């Protein structure tokens, strides 16, 4: 990703209720560039990061669920185990 305004984050979540799980998953699909199940790689601007945080707070039950947002270094070498496939690092946002 060449846009300096965007930073790579790993957003992961564990949601106890199936209805909330669906809502959180659908919400994050709009931000993900790669990932699987409950772990999404997201290239976010500062504003988008704030939107993701607000959106998670609105959709989670903070007494039962949890979410983590980790800032990643895109220069880090990707190590894969098993049948993992590399995520395409080039994408377009329209």
Q: What is the pLDDT of residues 17-51, one digit of tens each?
A: 999 999 999 999 999 887 788 899 899 999 999 99
Asked if the model's pLDDT at residue 88 lies above 70, the reply is no
35 Cβ contact partners less than 8 Å away, ≥ 6 residues apart: 10, 41, 87
Burial of 75 (0-12, 13-18, 19+ CB in 10 A): exposed
55, 30 contact by CB (below 8 A): no
Q: Say whether pTM exceeds 0.85.
A: no
> 3.10.450.50, 3.30.70.240, 3.50.50.60, 3.30.2130.30: which CATH number matches 7-71?
3.30.70.240
């Amino acid at each position: 990703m060449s846009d300096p305004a965007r930073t790579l984050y790993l957003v992961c979540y564990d949601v106890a209720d199936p209805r909330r799980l669906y809502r959180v998953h659908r919400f994050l699909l709009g931000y993900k560039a790669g990932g699987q199940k409950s772990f999404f790689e997201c290239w976010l601007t500062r504003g988008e990061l704030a939107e993701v945080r607000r959106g998670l707070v609105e959709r989670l039950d903070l007494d039962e669920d949890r979410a983590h947002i980790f800032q990643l270094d895109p220069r880090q070498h990707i190590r894969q185990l098993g049948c993992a496939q590399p995520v395409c690092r080039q994408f377009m946002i329209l």
